A and B are shown apart, each in its own frame.
Chain A
């Protein structure tokens, strides 16, 4: 069984946010509810201020704190290493959101981030929280794995495009979007990344490209000191560092 993981090369990432958009289209996200966000922030001050950005999907941790705190077992980790939410078990207590060090979880019922509220423009007549005009086929929707348009009052998060990845041929070391045979099994953000800054593969296979890149280019993990052990690795090189804190202005 594979242990799926992602490598993001910050030397290549241009901060174009195509990943954010592709994820939103693939997974029918509300505007602003970015499972795959790119965080922009500044460091330093005039005249040496720098604009920086940092792509941040769910880290699909080896030791997910969100899973440990969930009182019902709605958040779980699959055998192939993906952290998912069972929407039929989620009670909407939001403890997982509070306990996630990476801020990758979203509650459905909140003030809309953009106006008009798309949930009202495309209101749902059934249990779905909204009904966008374009959405993934019903056959792909899978509430047990947090895939599709979620019901009301549950927590949602990046699934590593589980509806794609789980269909990959067993034993595949890397899901390379350049390979036409594997493209449809590769997460949408990886497929769409214009500079090819994202790699997706089996972390448990030492021969996979993701494993070799992590070894060769000294991949690092976000907030590693917390012990969650993310399965998303960042390659820094000349592309800037992984933030060691939460990019906050202490005087603000």
Chain B
């Protein structure tokens, strides 16, 4: 879209309100997502004030972490993946990816904020966390380091975005911030993996492979998010795109990266389920439950295997509609993956309660689904806002195609 972008904070605030009266894809996305956000947030706040966290279906007797944590992990890892994609041009010099760098950074910021927002509504005492974690200095806790690295990540993303907004694409400072951001995000997403992977008493999660899986599957959901958002920004019509971006979209480079990431994630899932079903170790019973869950099959066959084939097919991989469909399916698949990973890992009860000798059931409550909607709608609303206010299609002059 060829917007006139605001230059002062006052113009930006005015532009935010003006979007309610505009009629284009970005403004419509903004209006719809703000409406969904307002409704879902109002419902979540009402339920939390009347029922407290008892409005969740999580339980001390089984699944302690439910869909809210899965949503946080989904957004945090998508944010990390977007930073990886941005780093292709800003850190590693693949200049053909410059046209999506600024959009990636903004999306990384908004998805991380959406994740943090959902996490804050899940935590018992989010404000206490702000002082108790820094003062506690629990250096043995993976969650402590996850907080440290994701906080650093968010600050660096803001700095990098500010520099790009000032059209500082390639100064030494800009490159330093980009490289630091890349390191921070590897540590952050890896540490998020270790939050689960460190726990020997949860064999379905245990192991350093969890960390690697989080980093790589994060890159996959980041890649899917940027493909969808770029098409969204140009009304799903490549003719509206600047030439370098169109070249990137219509070449087989992005599909190849995409197919490779899907393939690696599928391999991870296959080897994980193989080990899980083969092993007699106590605590692996959740894999059997996983295999019986229709969601798992939707994820593997429809949301991963199908897009994998689509992005391998020479005739389909360069067609916008198949790219968009593959990306949407992958995003859905990654959300299911986070949910089933977290829930199945806790399905085996730990000497809990009388007569509980099967895997524990868990289905998110309406409040928990509303919290998922809060996450998605807040990310989309902030994304639309950025698209309207900050010229996310910007790129260095030789790449911008103006």
A residues apposed to B, CB below 8 Å: 33-34, 37-42, 54, 56, 65, 68-74, 89-95, 97-112, 152-154, 222-223, 226-227, 243-250, 252
Contacts and interface: CB of A to CB of B under 8 A. Distances in A.
B141 interface: yes
A246 B351 contact: yes
Given A41-B357, A92-B125, A248-B285, A110 B58 contact: yes
Contacts of B195: 95
Contacts of B346: 98
Contact of B351 (A54, A89, A93): A54
A127 to B, nearest CB: 12
B282 A72 contact: no
Contacts of B199: 65, 69, 98-99
A248 B349 contact: yes
A71 B141 contact: yes
Interface string B275-306: 00000001101001000000000000000000
Interface of B: 52-54, 56-61, 64-65, 123-126, 128-129, 132-133, 135-138, 140-144, 147, 195, 198-202, 282-283, 285, 288, 346, 348-359
B54 A39 contact: no
Contact of A109 (B53, B136, B144): B53
B132 A72 contact: yes
Given A71-B147, A91-B128, A246-B282, A101 B350 contact: yes
Contact of B53 (A72, A104, A105, A110): A110
Given A91-B123, A252-B359, 19 more contacts: A37-B353, A39-B356, A40-B354, A40-B355, A69-B198, A71-B136, A71-B147, A72-B135, A91-B133, A92-B123, A94-B58, A102-B350, A104-B351, A110-B60, A153-B123, A153-B125, A245-B282, A247-B351, A252-B358
Given A71-B141, A71-B147, A152 B357 contact: no
Contact of B200 (A74, A95, A154, A226): A226
Contacts of A71: 129, 132-133, 136, 138, 141, 143-144, 147
- Chain B interface SS verdict (over half): loop
B229 to A, nearest CB: 31
B357 A93 contact: no
B114 to A, nearest CB: 19
What are the nearest 6 A-B pairs in CB distance? A92-B124, A153-B124, A252-B358, A103-B350, A101-B201, A245-B282
Given A42-B357, A98-B202, A69 B54 contact: no
Given A38-B354, A153-B53, A249-B357, A93 B288 contact: no
Contacts of B123: 91-93, 153
Contacts of B198: 69
B64 A72 contact: no
B358 A89 contact: no
A93 B143 CA distance: 10
Given A71-B133, A71-B138, A90 B125 contact: yes
A152 B132 contact: no
